[in-house]
Amino acid sequence: ILQNICWIFTKLCIYHVLIIRLQIAFWGSTHEYNRYSMLMAYCFVTIVSLTCIIGSFIDVQSIHFPTGWCLFIIPTWIILLPCALDLVCSIFALYLFMKPLKTMLSKIDLDN
């Protein structure tokens, strides 16, 4: 369980850094993103990650065998939710990084 929680917490930190990098990369430019939308993205990542962490504490069950083995029963949603979060955040971040670059390149093409 601890490994799952550390993995989710690591992903949470990675996405927080990614959102902060987006804010810093376009800070003060004409392509600066709305701070409210960045805060909402920050909150979304935090809430989904905390849901997974709390779910790891609550929903994961274990069966102990007399031979010393232990079997963990992990619900499907705890496995799929971080995967869905990765997919959504990766596509969202890629779009947000590419949008200003595409806009700048189109302006350069129009000037030439």
110: pLDDT confidence band, cut at 50, 70 and 90? low
Share of the chain above pLDDT 70, in %: 96
- List all residues 6 or more positions away from 77 whose beta carbon is below 8 Å from its beta carbon: 55
Q: What's the confidence (pLDDT) of residue 69?
A: 82
Q: List the one residue out of 69, 70, 68, 47 whose CA is nearest residue 60.
A: 70
Give the pTM.
0.73
* Nearest by Cα to 56 from 90, 81, 22: 81
Tens-digit pLDDT profile for residues 38-66: 889 889 889 988 888 888 788 777 788 88
Mean model confidence pLDDT for the chain: 83
Examine the pLDDT at 7 and tell me if it is beyond 80. yes
